[in-house]
Amino acid sequence: MKPLIALKHVSLKLGHVQALHDVSMTIHAGEQVALIGANGSGKSTLLRVLNGLHPITEGELQLAQCRQAMLFQRPHMLRTSSLSNVALGLWLDRSLGLRWHQAKARALAALSVVGLSGVTMQNAATLSGGQQQRLALARAWAKQPELLFLDEPTASLDPPAKREIEALVQEMIAPNDKPSPMTLVFASHNLGQVKRWASRVIYIEQGRILADLPTEDFFNPVCLAQHSHPAFLFLQGETA
């Protein structure tokens, strides 16, 4: 089966910093891939490369034609209504080819899915952090993406908001507990979240992939120690 994403010996320099070193990986449709590693390891940079936000300086990136959406740690909302923010996200995606009224209709449905129907006309910039993240999720969900990137989507949220976002993402990747055709690639420091969402875990350190294992193998200390000692040490430190 042809992979959805294929990276071959990709390197990326951001200014004087070598952010990614010789990264090679493939992701197939329907996979849920977690990127983990310490701060500054290159998780977010890799996500941005996959989303086309950083042009690579070396190597090859092959990305199958598909609808993509990305959720950031701190979503940016324009000072206008929640509805407009979601509709604008749809309208800007030329591949969807939606007219403004069509985008608004779809945005309304998306707001209802994330439980924000009550704030449709409220200025999005005045919503709480959790609500803004739900709004960003609505903006992503409305595009019906085949490939969803999440960059630490719950890192800046309090526990209740975190639970809400997790439940919504869970519903997106496995609606009614059935497997979804959506491919998920996410960066996270939350190992519980990684266990819940991921089918595969990639450990990154200083821009290099040092472990790439199915989730159950990654969280099996014996298996992980055999496969990648740095990843084992990282996990020991995180779970200590």
Partner 1 sequence: MNTFSDSAVTAFYLITTLDPGLWSIAGRSLGVSATACLLGCVLGIGLGAYLAVSRFPARPMVLTLLNTFLALPSVVVGLVIYLLLSRTGPLGFLGWLFSFKAMVLAQLVLVIPVAAALTRQVVEDVDVAHGEQWRSLGAGNLVRGALLAWNERFALLTVVVACFGRAISEVGAVMIVGGNIEGFTRVMTTAIALETSKGDLPLALGLGLVLLIIVGCLNVLLTLFRNWQVRYQSSKPSSLRGWVA
∠ CA 126-104-90, nearest 5°, is 85
Asked if 43 touches partner 1 (CB under 8 A), the answer is no
Asked if 89 touches partner 1 (CB under 8 A), the answer is yes
Q: Which is nearer to partner 1, 184 or 231 (CB)?
A: 184
Separation of alpha carbons 201 and 204, rounded Å: 10
Do residues 60 and 24 make contact, with C-beta atoms less than 8 angstroms apart?
no
Do residues 45 and 119 make contact, with C-beta atoms less than 8 angstroms apart?
no
Asked if 131 touches partner 1 (CB under 8 A), the answer is no
Structure letter (DSSP) for residue 180: P
Asked if 88 touches partner 1 (CB under 8 A), the answer is yes
Closest CA to 196 of 221, 213, 171, 176: 171
Asked if 109 touches partner 1 (CB under 8 A), the answer is no
Residues 50-79 that bind partner 1 (CB under 8 A): 51, 53, 69-70, 72, 75-76, 78-79
Asked if 94 touches partner 1 (CB under 8 A), the answer is yes
Smallest gap, in angstroms, from Cβ of residue 167 to partner 1? 23
Residues 179-238 that bind partner 1 (CB under 8 A): none
Separation of alpha carbons 16 and 121, rounded Å: 45
Separation of alpha carbons 69 and 149, rounded Å: 6
Catalog residues that contact partner 1 under the rule CB under 8 A: 48, 51, 53, 69-70, 72, 75-76, 78-81, 83-84, 87-89, 92-95, 104, 121-126, 139
